[in-house]
Chain A
Amino acid sequence: MLVDFFLHLKARQLPVSTNELLALLEALQARLVSGSLDDFYLLARALLVKDEALYDRFDRAFGEYFKGIEALPGFDAMVPEEWLELAARRHLSEADRARLQKLGYEKVFEQLKERLAEQKERHAGGNKWIGTAGTSPFGHGGYNPEGVRIGGESVGNRTAIKVWEQREFRNLDDSLELGVRNIKVALRRLRRFARQGAATELDLDGTIAGTARNGGWLDLQLRPERHNAIKVLLFLDIGGSMDDHIQACEELFSAARAELKHLEHFYFHNCVYEGVWKDNRRRHGEKLSTWDVIHTYGPDYKLVFVGDASMSPYEVARPGGSVEHWNEEAGAVWLERLLNTWSRAVWLNPLPEAHWGYTPSITMIRQLLGERMFPLTIDGLERAMRSLAK
């Protein structure tokens, strides 16, 4: 029986290995838990799942597998609570259940959204609206094979069954959100250690070799400590359509500041032209000439742009295309100058990768960068760092 369970977990893309199944069987043989399903759930989770980001996936898989035993409802969504006061439970016969049509999850969610838009009042019974004790796929206390459970008190006691039903680890799943910490870990891919500066660390191998050469007299050798020697220029798009992505950019910036010792940042709007600025409050007063930037920092710097690259195509292609001022030369010319100075460059885009194709300016900038544009997600960041480290 457990082999089926194991294969079910595997099919739900939980990374479980045979060793762990054997450990679980061993634990059961050692009578670590009594016969209760709750204890088995906790034990299986401790032995099979090794990352809290996978807890949610495990809860769902576990629920699915043991549905026959406990007849678990589906999962939660956010709905005003007053609709969901528990009314009487309606008892369904087997034939009734069979009659209920099975909807796919996507379809269920789509319908849920529509119903939410339509429905304004509390509803109980019936088979279409969200409410309690009906056979609609939405609400709770009723029955539908693919139902979406919405709110409702956990019935009576707080057993572990309710834990996998509540899916309280949902927030930890896959960490799609960028946290400062996640970004830091991704940025660490950029580390390149080098020994520079004052010699303060004892070089043991050097000392032994030196002493041997010295005919046995101690010859101490010192060397500088290892530091991260990577240098980065960060160009941040600011204002306009970037306002939606302030938090992601803030997090990226604070992580980069902590992780990279040699970091210089500059702001631009939509596209880089002849001037950039370091302090957004004084952007009109203290503009730096982009030529100065190009001449100041050596070719060992790596170039990172952060921006949504969403603008009118003229802003990239034509002189005078900028929305803010008259630019003598086109944005594309300036971008190429920067890319010629620093050959290792990436563009991080906070928009989802799937939407890039719909904005012509994104395509143009991607071409300018030789396809080195990456989404501002953990995965995208890792790919970008790998591309920079090449």
Chain B
Amino acid sequence: MKFEGTESYVATCDLTLAVNAAIALQRPLLIKGEPGTGKTLLAEEVARALNMPLFQWHIKSTTKAQQGLYEYDAVSRLRDSQLGDPRVEDISHYIGHGVLWQAFECDEPSVVLIDEIDKADIEFPNDLLRELDRMEFHCYELHRTIKAKHRPLIIITSNNEKELPDAFLRRCFFHYIKFPDKETMQRIVGVHFPVLKHDLLKEALEVFFDLREVPGLKKKPSTSELIDWLKLLLAEDIPPEALRAKEAKDAIPPLHGALLKNEQDVHLFERLAFMAHRKS
């Protein structure tokens, strides 16, 4: 069982190695990287490539570790008891299974995505230490220990908003998806737009990497934004010459709204373009 990337996802060799190490040694894999470099997508693609079911757990600032295991719905039970519903006798009716419970009880090996773990409270990763290490937890209401039938492959993504505790990191493998270089980017674009005209792609990539070099941008455009932009360029049928017109008066790339997401950045860029134009 080896992950090699898929026809719709370009994985560099260091990334596949990290994924395969996590599969072989059955440890969680922590993925970091700039926004838009395909962290979340990785779990979906791994699950698809290896033909395993995927369980997704998207973390918010209010998410508690317990919610990934199970939740006891006291309010419905209270209501049922008031209405005299016979279901109230059995507490298991009111235990809602969380993502990890579902994955642990799954009959085949599965992939679990814990997305944006840094969004949650600082203590969140610590509350999952034992669960991720032993792949088991205890349900107090049922007096029962839930143990994983097959250790799932756990992929965790983080945007670095909070530092993760050391004890947690020690248990994970780690990979930082760095921003793709030009060659990798060409492969990525090729996967998404197999029939893109060669010269359009060349010009577009040039504009894109130039744009990333502009100093002082608040948010640099990422891979996913490049893909969106190319989609727009295709939909509007922009000729490659329009992108090449760098020296000409319209030095701002067409449809730049897809690349720059911040009015300060657009403003800065317009000013730079204006100055470049005045110089020439």
* Residues in A lying within 8 Å of B, measured CB to CB: 15, 17, 19-20, 23, 26-27, 30, 32-33, 39, 42-43, 45-47, 49-52, 55, 160, 168-169, 172, 181, 184-185, 188, 202, 204, 207-208, 211, 216-218
From A27, A51, A211, A218, B25 is in contact (CB under 8 Å) with: A27
Determine if B228 is an interface residue (Cβ-Cβ < 8 Å). no
Which residues does chain A contribute within 8 Å of B30, judged by CB atoms?
50
Main secondary structure of the interface of A (DSSP, over half): helix
- Whether the pair A46, B78 counts as a contact (CB closer than 8 A) is no
Determine if B79 is an interface residue (Cβ-Cβ < 8 Å). yes
Given contacts A168-B178, A208-B78, contact A42 B14 (CB under 8 A): yes
A17–B168 alpha-carbon span in the complex (Å) = 12
**What are 19 sample pairs from A and B whose C-beta atoms fall under 8 A apart?**
A17-B170, A23-B25, A27-B24, A32-B17, A32-B20, A33-B17, A43-B21, A45-B14, A46-B18, A47-B21, A49-B174, A50-B172, A55-B176, A160-B14, A169-B178, A185-B162, A185-B163, A207-B75, A208-B78
- Whether the pair A42, B13 counts as a contact (CB closer than 8 A) is yes
A33–B14 alpha-carbon span in the complex (Å) = 11
User: Least Cβ distance of A61 to chain B in Å?
Assistant: 16
Interface flags for B12-51 (1: CB within 8 Å of A; 0: not) read 0110011011001101001010000000000000000000
A211–B75 alpha-carbon span in the complex (Å) = 11
Given contacts A26-B25, A46-B21, A47-B21, contact A181 B173 (CB under 8 A): no
- Whether the pair A51, B17 counts as a contact (CB closer than 8 A) is no
Determine if B166 is an interface residue (Cβ-Cβ < 8 Å). yes
User: Least Cβ distance of B56 to chain A in Å?
Assistant: 23
User: Least Cβ distance of B164 to chain A in Å?
Assistant: 8
A172 nearest CB neighbor, chain B only? B176
Which residues does chain A contribute within 8 Å of B27, judged by CB atoms?
23
Total interface residues in chain B, CB < 8 Å: 30
Determine if B128 is an interface residue (Cβ-Cβ < 8 Å). no
Given A32-B20, A218-B78, 9 new contacts (CB under 8 A): A33-B17, A39-B17, A42-B17, A43-B21, A46-B173, A50-B169, A185-B163, A207-B75, A208-B78
B14 nearest CB neighbor, chain A only? A42
Which residues does chain B contribute within 8 Å of A172, judged by CB atoms?
176
A50 nearest CB neighbor, chain B only? B169
A266–B178 alpha-carbon span in the complex (Å) = 40
A51–B170 alpha-carbon span in the complex (Å) = 11
Given contacts A27-B24, A168-B178, A218-B78, contact A46 B166 (CB under 8 A): no
- Whether the pair B176, A52 counts as a contact (CB closer than 8 A) is yes
Interface flags for B67-96 (1: CB within 8 Å of A; 0: not) read 000000011001100100000000000000
User: Least Cβ distance of A175 to chain B in Å?
Assistant: 9
- Whether the pair A51, B169 counts as a contact (CB closer than 8 A) is yes
A52–B163 alpha-carbon span in the complex (Å) = 12
A172–B176 alpha-carbon span in the complex (Å) = 11
A146–B82 alpha-carbon span in the complex (Å) = 80
A47–B172 alpha-carbon span in the complex (Å) = 8
Which residues does chain A contribute within 8 Å of B173, judged by CB atoms?
23, 46-47
A169–B14 alpha-carbon span in the complex (Å) = 15
B175 nearest CB neighbor, chain A only? A46
Which residues does chain B contribute within 8 Å of A15, judged by CB atoms?
166
Which of B25, B79, B171, B173 has the most C-beta atoms of chain A within 10 angstroms of its own C-beta?
A: B173
Determine if B160 is an interface residue (Cβ-Cβ < 8 Å). yes
Across chains A and B, which 9 residue pairs bring their CB atoms closest together, nearest first?
A: A50-B169, A52-B176, A46-B18, A50-B174, A42-B14, A42-B17, A46-B173, A30-B24, A17-B170
- Whether the pair A20, B170 counts as a contact (CB closer than 8 A) is yes
A23–B21 alpha-carbon span in the complex (Å) = 10
- Whether the pair A181, B24 counts as a contact (CB closer than 8 A) is no
- Whether the pair A46, B174 counts as a contact (CB closer than 8 A) is yes
Determine if B161 is an interface residue (Cβ-Cβ < 8 Å). yes
A29–B186 alpha-carbon span in the complex (Å) = 36
A20 nearest CB neighbor, chain B only? B170
- Whether the pair B21, A27 counts as a contact (CB closer than 8 A) is yes
User: Least Cβ distance of A186 to chain B in Å?
Assistant: 11
